[in-house]
Amino acid sequence: MLVLQEHEFETLVHFVRENFGINLDQKRILVEGRLGLHLTEAGYSSYQEYLNRVFADPTGAEVSNLVTRLTTNHTFFMREENHFRFLRQVVLPALAASPRDKDIRIWSAGCSSGEEPFTIAMTLHDHFGFAKEQWDTRILATDISSRALDMARKARYPATAMDQVPPSWLIRYFRRTSETEYEVIEGLREEVIFRSLNLVQGVFPFRKRFHVIFCRNVMIYFDRKTRNELIRKLYQVTEPGGYLFIGHAEILDRDECGYKYVQPAIYRRPS
């Protein structure tokens, strides 16, 4: 196993913080654990050689792979089920009761391999039923990792990933492709628009605000300054009265963020 030298670690920490807002200062063991074996198997003689390859790649693919290896979270369908229960029982009825143009805008920020936005899509179909065709409820799903987005677009998941999916949803929204794999049905896949987006760089390129934003288990990697800046940007693209869902391990500064606390990991922008 290669040894991560101090200057190599500092170079990596600086690069990732400046470009992606991710703070790895106290994550040396994580870095070694997630990169060490890959570098050895790929034949690199040092971390510096690998970093030189990352910095010199004009396509950005190596950078994307680096960030993926350092930040990939375990995710699954129906994660933090109470969020989807609140979406179905509170948020969607309120939005449906006061339609402007039958347009409900939802953003899954940091969507990883797609389980979250597809769970949102299934929740929408379950709520609206046959009336779903009257509404524009397409979901924007973004992530910084091109590899995660490729997996999400394929929408194929191992049978073991179906454990938390309600049996009725498994029948309605999935197709079994083999003994070990399921695929999200085409109609549901068309409801989710996957795009690449770095949450901490630049201004969000959105023309309209969102009624609902899921940004869960993303900010755990950020330092306080980066986290507060992201919250400010999220607030700007949240509709008045709209909701922000975050991870249960994440906390907002209620005095500064602008959002109002609703219940654990759920906040609302005042109307």
Distance of CA 211 to the CA centre of its chain: 17
Closest CA to 75 of 141, 2, 9: 141
Phi first, then psi, for residue 86 (nearest 5°) are: -65, -40
Q: Which residues of the chain have pLDDT under 70?
A: 72-74, 99
Q: What does the pLDDT look like over 31-43, one tens digit per residue?
A: 998 898 889 988 9
Compute the 3-state secondary structure of the chain and give helix, strand, coil in percent, each to the nearest 5: 45, 20, 35
Question: Are the C-beta atoms of 120 and 106 separated by less than 8 Å?
Answer: yes
Name the strand (E) or helix (H) holding 87: none
Q: What is the pLDDT of residue 99?
A: 66
Helix and strand numbers (H, E) in the chain are: 11, 10
Q: What is the pTM of this model?
A: 0.86
CA separation for the pair 218, 154 (Å, rounded) = 22
Instruction: Give whole-number Cα distances, 146 to 11, 115, 198, 209, 233, in Å.
Output: 23, 16, 11, 25, 23
Predicted pLDDT at 220: 83
- The gap from C-alpha 267 to its chain's centroid, in whole angstroms, comes to 17
Active site amino acids: 34, 143
- Parallel, antiparallel, or unpaired for β 106-109 and 210-215? parallel
**Domain ranges (residues) in the chain:** 6-71, 81-268
CATH of domain 81-268: 3.40.50.150
What element of type H or E holds 77? none
Structure tokens at 242: 């709209």
CATH number for the domain running over 6-71: 1.10.155.10
Contact at 8 Å (CB) between 1 and 36? yes
